[in-house]
Amino acid sequence: MEAEFTLHVNGQARTVRVDPATPLLYVLRDDLGLNGPKFGCGLQQCGSCMVLLDTIAWPSCQLPVANVQNAAITTLEGLTRPDGSLHPVQQAFVDEQAAQCGYCLNGMVMSAVALLTVHPKPDDQTIRNALFRVLCRCGVHSRALAAIKKAADSMKS
Amino acid sequence: MAAQYPSQLSHSRRDFIKSVGCLTIAFVLGSGADVLAGESVVADELPESLAKNPRINAWLEVLANGRVRVLTGKTEIGQGIRTAVAQIAAEELNMSMERVEVVLAETGRTPDERYTSGSASIETSGMSIRYAAAAARQQLLGLAARQLRVKASQLRLADGMIRTTDGKRQLSFTQLLKGKQLQGEVKLPVQLKAKSEYQHVGKPVRRDDIERMVRAEPVYVQDLRFPGMVHARVLRPTSYWGKLAKLDTAEMQRQIPGLLKTVVDGSFVGFIAEKECQAKGAQDYGIQHAQWTNGPALPTKQALPELLTTLPAITKRAVNKGDMSSFDATTAGSAPTDASLSARYFKPYLMHASVGPSCAVALFDQEDSLHIWTHSQGVYPLRNTLAALLKMPPERIHVKAVPGSGCYGHNGADDVAADAALLARAYPGRHVRLQWSRDDEHAWEPYGSAMLMQLDARLDSEGSITHWQNNIWSDTHSTRPGGKPESLLAARLLAQPALPTPATEVSSAIYRNGEPLYAIPNQRLDTHYVQGPLRVSALRGLGAFGNVFALESFMDELALQAKQDPWEFRLRHLTDKRAKAVIQRTREMIKNEKLAPGEGFGLGFAQYKNQAAYCAVVAKVHVAEEMGTIRALHLWAAIDAGETINPDGLKNQTEGGMIQASSWTLKEEVLFNEQHITSRQWETYPIFRFDEVPAVTVSIIDRPTEKPLGAGEAAQGPTAAALANAVFQACGKRIRSLPIRPEKLVQIKES
Ligand code: FES
Ligand code: FES
């Protein structure tokens, strides 16, 4: 029952042949060779697999590929500018050294990017709410909060 | 042991010299051959890893392009070891960090340093690399002196070059070595660079892997891709001791597109498919259609704390100090008097709960050799374990460490590697990538042991503790495979199963930090080692988490009894200056903080293992009984890890430790029914989410002249006690059973 789907990923049209029920996460990692979205639970509980659908951050682990053909999909890779420079949120996570193992970084960064498009200057509570879905076991939350505030500042200026 | 300044011998070193009496220390007068401006230091004892493997080129290689490659037997588990050892090597060789590359644990390539555990990476690997780099510097200078026909004292070494002091002549490392490697062993005395000259060590150097992470470069074992690689999933029994009754593999082959092979060996079941989603499809099919028989039931009739004390136990008296006879005579069986106190504390099973479930890649190649890519904490022990499991010579097994999701101890990493090896052997010639599911990880990882601590103490009329008794009931805290295949999950499932034989000796990890650092003249510590119902192994802090929670909660209870301030009460029972300093520092850190109604402060302190980093934590909590909420608002830590290699790394570890331990303390508990674990995903095993996480502040007491002390686990126990003590201050209720959940408040009377 495989079929062809054309997805818009990081500004490019990509055609894949997969079962329509295949969750987007597997297509991104397995068929398109991307590393940003990670497998964490497959249950929409941890945020490891977060991508942007247009401007909204959404877990990709239960999203059937057939449902996302009309969306502009952005992964962590797609945030980096063509000249190789980092998106301000990526840069802020580096500057604040907001990682230990870093497995959760994808979820944090993607959620933060989505947040900043609607709330250019979020307060602590707004950031915490926006990142609610993202689990971090190493406990870098406080650094992530600082990084997101820093990114917000740098994007305004 | 690390080097000390000759003029500033540390406390412990002085004690050591006193106790051995005749230890000779080779001082070097003046600054020696490599003309370092400061006072250089001479090491008198090799770090343990180096003593086992003293060849310089086991630790350090000079590359043709003038760069230096450092080899560590430790792995990156989010603690930043890669950066820390690069700092250390760059320092001794006077070079920029960009010129240093690091190879992490790999069999046949790096030294065998067993496990990356016990917060010992800096103390062992880091110090070995420091000494090897220093020896390399000495050797390079010696070679240059011969080649240039000058005295070594007329040479300077920096950035891959050796120059004469007049600047007229120079040689690169590459010209010096002419394609050869440094030879020989690190021999005492080793002359170390003066700490006053440090450029890299002690500075908050950035980790370069974080940029690779935000760029979504392939950092993790989960990201490995090899040509022709296939994907695998495993299928687990429906109960903890279940056995496979029926699985129609032929039917599966017809139903599941892309399924290449189903491997069944007893109750071990794995599926190999072309694509990952297809492997998952096979697993889903198996979950629905496979039939299992139930094994023996898990014990649910008794509450866990009670169960622990009724199981058969092996008892060991780990501490016996002073004279407990008067204590026994008056306390045993009698009601607590004014001057004595008893309390019982409980810590449930806890999960490592890595965000990324365990994963491994395995290849059984044409030459019948096995290659494993793993986030295991010990590549050499894993190799030996797999050799025994698969009955093949260890020389034919190659294990390479690749970072994974943070593990915080012994999680499913070794198990998934063994699973992958079994599957790869059944499907040779292609790389097999095995990804565990969330359920696989939650339900089958080896948990941190449940523990029960019974504490009894007596105070004199001045409010000083005179007698102290601790009874600990717990399962073991480490079943790392270490060559024993029966500790692997797969081993109990195979057609010819192997079950771990329970240890007959009481592991010291159970009573880690069970003995307080406080000066108490009469003490007894009895450890009752029991075999609990669940698979267990090392979880960050091992026994120290439960033990420090108990004894530091008890210290507050005793302080209350003695009508003393908890800070003062601890300080007056301490003689160790560094211990006092971290406690005092926390008081300074919160001196401008105010408490609102419903809020409380609490303090917890420990020196991890009573020999590693000193850490004191203060928690500020808010308790709203009517709302049924307990919130951790802010945690402050003061930490003394001796010589700090990377202060930002130490801060990061301590912040993360406090946040993780807060989640353990306030929320977590592995639950099970007769059949099985019921904590199987994030809704049934909730951990902190962003809205619950406290603010964290860390203050480092750096002691550059002391040896570096392991710090990665130091905050865990103090955090638990700080929270329990803060909840008591906020609402007058003492919760002695973790997790500290609001529903427990209603069961407790105010004291
Ligand atoms: S993997 Fe998608 S939310 Fe966890
Ligand atoms: S940094 Fe490891 S899970 Fe967040």
Closest ligand (CA of A111): 1
Mutate to test the pocket of ligand 2, among A48, A101, A110, A141 (most ligand atoms within 8 A of CB): A101
For residue B313, the one-letter residue type is A
A13 and A72, same domain (yes or no): yes
Cβ contacts (< 8 Å) between A93 and chain B: which residues?
210, 214
B503 inside domain: no
B356 and B345, same domain (yes or no): no
Specify the pLDDT at position B76.
87
Using the Cα atoms of residue B429, residue B430, residue B431 and residue B437 in order, give the sign of their dihedral. negative
Q: Hey, are the CB atoms on A139 and B659 less than 8 Å from each other?
A: yes
Encode B330-358: b = buried (16+ Cβ within 10 Å), e = exposed.
Answer: ebeeeeeeebbbebebbbbbbbbbbbbbb
| B272 vs B257: CA distance, rounded Å | 11
Q: Hey, are the CB atoms on A97 and B648 less than 8 Å from each other?
A: yes
- Pairing state between β B614-624 and B629-640: antiparallel
Ligand 1 atom closest to Cα of residue A42: 1
Q: Could you tell me the two tokens for B136?
A: 């390399």
B731 and B712, same domain (yes or no): yes
- B267: Cβ contacts below 8 Å, ≥ 6 apart: B237, B242, B243, B244, B292, B493, B494
Range of the domain at B404: 221-295+352-444
> Final residue of a domain: which of B428, B444, B460?
B444
> Final residue of a domain: which of B212, B231, B265?
B212
Cβ contacts (< 8 Å) between B231 and chain A: which residues?
30
Better-scored residue on pLDDT, B160 or A65: A65
Q: Hey, are the CB atoms on B690 and A99 less than 8 Å from each other?
A: no
Sheet holding B259-265, edge to edge: B259-265, B268-273, B230-235, B432-435, B359-364, B370-374, B397-401
Answer whether residue B621 shows pLDDT above 90: yes
Tell me the average pLDDT across B151-165: 92
DSSP codes joined into one string, A84-142: SPPPHHHHHHHHTT--SS-TTHHHHHHHHHHHHHH-SS--HHHHHHHTTT---SS--HH
Closest ligand (CA of B690): 2
Ligand 1 atom closest to Cα of residue A38: 1
| B611 vs B508: CA distance, rounded Å | 14
B391 and B258, same domain (yes or no): yes
Cβ contacts (< 8 Å) between A127 and chain B: which residues?
690
Q: Is the CB of A65 under 6 A from ligand 2?
A: no
A55 and A122, same domain (yes or no): no
Q: Which residues line ligand 1 (CB under 6 A)?
A: A 39-49, 59, 61
Instruction: Classify residue B363 as exposed, middle or buried by CB count within 10 Å of its CB (0-12, 13-18, 19+).
Output: buried
Cβ contacts (< 8 Å) between B653 and chain A: which residues?
100
B203 and B262, same domain (yes or no): no
B79 and B20, same domain (yes or no): yes
> Final residue of a domain: which of A33, A51, A79?
A79
B404 touches chain A (CB under 8 A): yes
B684 touches chain A (CB under 8 A): no
What confidence tier does B326 reach under pLDDT thresholds 50, 70, 90?
confident
> Final residue of a domain: which of A79, A106, A140?
A79
Specify the pLDDT at position B43.
67
What confidence tier does B17 reach under pLDDT thresholds 50, 70, 90?
very low
pTM of the predicted structure, to 2 decimals: 0.93
B146 and B189, same domain (yes or no): yes
B322 touches chain A (CB under 8 A): no
- Pairing state between β A72-74 and A56-59: unpaired
Cβ contacts (< 8 Å) between B403 and chain A: which residues?
101
Specify the pLDDT at position B332.
55
Angle ∠(B352,B358,B360) on CA atoms, nearest 5: 150
Instruction: Classify residue B135 as exposed, middle or buried by CB count within 10 Å of its CB (0-12, 13-18, 19+).
Output: buried
Q: Hey, are the CB atoms on A105 and B403 less than 8 Å from each other?
A: no
Q: How far is the centre of ligand 2, averaged over its atoms, from the C-alpha of A139 (Å)?
A: 7
Q: Hey, are the CB atoms on B690 and A143 less than 8 Å from each other?
A: no
| A59 vs B564: CA distance, rounded Å | 52
Whole-number mean pLDDT of chain B? Answer: 91
Specify the pLDDT at position B348.
98
Ligand 2 atom closest to Cα of residue A99: 1
Q: Hey, are the CB atoms on A19 and B257 less than 8 Å from each other?
A: yes
CATH number of the domain residue B440 falls in: 3.30.365.10
Answer whether residue B11 shows pLDDT above 90: no
Question: Nearest CA to CA, how far is A70 from chain B (Å)?
Answer: 22
B505 inside domain: no
What confidence tier does B334 reach under pLDDT thresholds 50, 70, 90?
low
Interface test mutation site (partner B, options A49, A79, A123, A142, max chain B beta carbons within 10 A): A142
A75 and A107, same domain (yes or no): no
B276 and B392, same domain (yes or no): yes
What confidence tier does B694 reach under pLDDT thresholds 50, 70, 90?
very high
B502 inside domain: no
Reported as a single tens digit per residue, the pLDDT across B466-492 is 999 999 999 999 999 988 999 999 999
Cβ contacts (< 8 Å) between B696 and chain A: which residues?
142
Residue of chain B minimizing CA distance to A132: B690
Tell me the average pLDDT across B721-743: 97
Specify the pLDDT at position B118.
75
Specify the pLDDT at position B499.
86
Interface test mutation site (partner A, options B214, B274, B634, max chain A beta carbons within 10 A): B214
Number of domains in chain A: 2
Closest ligand (CA of A26): 1
CATH number of the domain residue A114 falls in: 1.10.150.120
CA contacts within 13 A on the Cβ side of B69: 14
Number of domains in chain B: 3
Specify the pLDDT at position B338.
56
What confidence tier does B10 reach under pLDDT thresholds 50, 70, 90?
very low
Answer whether residue B517 shows pLDDT above 90: yes
Looking at the DSSP bridge assignments, the partners of residue B607 are B614
Cα–Cα nearest to B725, from B734, B738, B716, B712: B734
A61 and A92, same domain (yes or no): no
A92 and A74, same domain (yes or no): no
Reported as a single tens digit per residue, the pLDDT across B285-323 is 999 999 999 999 999 999 999 999 999 999 999 999 999
Lowest mean pLDDT among A131-135, B31-35, B68-72, B623-627: B31-35
- Looking up tokens 């097994």, which residue turns up? B397
Angle between helices A141-156 and B647-667 (to 10 degrees): 120
Answer whether residue B8 shows pLDDT above 90: no
Cα–Cα nearest to A23, from B280, B322, B633, B228: B280
Q: How far is CA B13 from CA B22, B50, B130, in A?
A: 13, 20, 19
Specify the pLDDT at position B500.
83
> Final residue of a domain: which of B212, B242, B276?
B212
Lowest mean pLDDT among B193-207, B211-225, B272-286, B332-346: B332-346
ipTM score of the complex? 0.98
Question: Nearest CA to CA, how far is B73 from chain A (Å)?
Answer: 18
A72 and A96, same domain (yes or no): no
Tell me the average pLDDT across B66-84: 90
| B497 vs B517: CA distance, rounded Å | 44
Reported as a single tens digit per residue, the pLDDT across B557-582 is 999 999 999 999 999 999 999 999 99
B415 and B472, same domain (yes or no): no
- Under 8 Å CB pairs connecting chains A and B tally to 166
Helix (H) or strand (E) holding B638, with range, is strand B629-640
- Looking up tokens 């929409």, which residue turns up? A44
B170 inside domain: yes
Q: Could you tell me the two tokens for B566?
A: 């908890």
B630 and B676, same domain (yes or no): yes
A101 and A75, same domain (yes or no): no
Question: What share of chain A has pLDDT > 90, as a percent?
Answer: 98
Answer whether residue B40 shows pLDDT above 80: no
B605 and B573, same domain (yes or no): yes
What confidence tier does B12 reach under pLDDT thresholds 50, 70, 90?
very low
Mutate to test the pocket of ligand 2, among A93, A137, A145 (most ligand atoms within 8 A of CB): A137
Cβ contacts (< 8 Å) between A9 and chain B: which residues?
none
A24 and A43, same domain (yes or no): yes
> Phi then psi for B359, rounded to 5 degrees?
-155, 150
CATH number of the domain residue A36 falls in: 3.10.20.30
B411 touches chain A (CB under 8 A): no
Question: What share of chain B has pLDDT > 90, as a percent?
Answer: 82
Contact of B637 with B712, CB cutoff 8 Å: no
Q: How far is the centre of ligand 1, averaged over its atoms, from the C-alpha of A48 (Å)?
A: 5
Question: Nearest CA to CA, how far is B386 from chain A (Å)?
Answer: 26
B490 inside domain: no
Answer whether residue B24 shows pLDDT above 50: no
Specify the pLDDT at position B117.
82
What confidence tier does B29 reach under pLDDT thresholds 50, 70, 90?
very low
Q: Hey, are the CB atoms on A35 and B405 less than 8 Å from each other?
A: no
Specify the pLDDT at position B18.
31
What confidence tier does B337 reach under pLDDT thresholds 50, 70, 90?
low
Cα–Cα nearest to B691, from A126, A15, A99: A126
Q: Is the CB of A100 under 6 A from ligand 2?
A: yes
Answer whether residue B331 shows pLDDT above 80: no
A13 and A74, same domain (yes or no): yes
Tell me the average pLDDT across B129-148: 93
Answer whether residue B370 shows pLDDT above 70: yes
Reported as a single tens digit per residue, the pLDDT across B601-618 is 999 999 999 999 999 999
Specify the pLDDT at position B2.
36
Cβ contacts (< 8 Å) between A2 and chain B: which residues?
257
A66 and A101, same domain (yes or no): no
Answer whether residue B459 shows pLDDT above 50: yes
Closest ligand (CA of A46): 1
Specify the pLDDT at position B336.
52
Reported as a single tens digit per residue, the pLDDT across B259-271 is 999 999 999 999 9
Looking at the DSSP bridge assignments, the partners of residue B614 are B607, B640
Question: Nearest CA to CA, how far is A80 from chain B (Å)?
Answer: 7
Reported as a single tens digit per residue, the pLDDT across A10-47 is 999 999 999 999 999 999 999 999 999 999 999 999 99
Give the closest of B225, B356, B689 to A103, CB-based.
B356
Q: How far is the centre of ligand 2, averaged over its atoms, from the C-alpha of A99 (Å)?
A: 6
Cβ contacts (< 8 Å) between B277 and chain A: which residues?
18-19, 22-23, 26, 30
Specify the pLDDT at position B180.
86
Answer whether residue B16 shows pLDDT above 60: no
> Final residue of a domain: which of A26, A52, A79?
A79
B230 and B174, same domain (yes or no): no
A109 and A150, same domain (yes or no): yes
Tell me the average pLDDT across B102-116: 93
| A73 vs B693: CA distance, rounded Å | 30
Reported as a single tens digit per residue, the pLDDT across A57-94 is 999 999 999 999 999 999 999 999 999 999 999 999 99
Range of the domain at A142: 88-156
A32 and A97, same domain (yes or no): no
Specify the pLDDT at position B9.
33
B606 and B729, same domain (yes or no): yes
Question: Nearest CA to CA, how far is A33 from chain B (Å)?
Answer: 8
Q: How far is the centre of ligand 2, averaged over its atoms, from the C-alpha of B574 (Å)?
A: 36
Answer whether residue B418 shows pLDDT above 90: yes
Ligand 2 atom closest to Cα of residue B354: 3
For residue B141, the one-letter residue type is L
Answer whether residue B3 shows pLDDT above 90: no
Q: Hey, are the CB atoms on B216 and A76 less than 8 Å from each other?
A: yes
- B106: Cβ contacts below 8 Å, ≥ 6 apart: B379, B398, B399, B400, B401
Q: How far is the centre of ligand 2, averaged over its atoms, from the C-alpha of B375 (Å)?
A: 15
Q: Could you tell me the two tokens for B68?
A: 């230096």
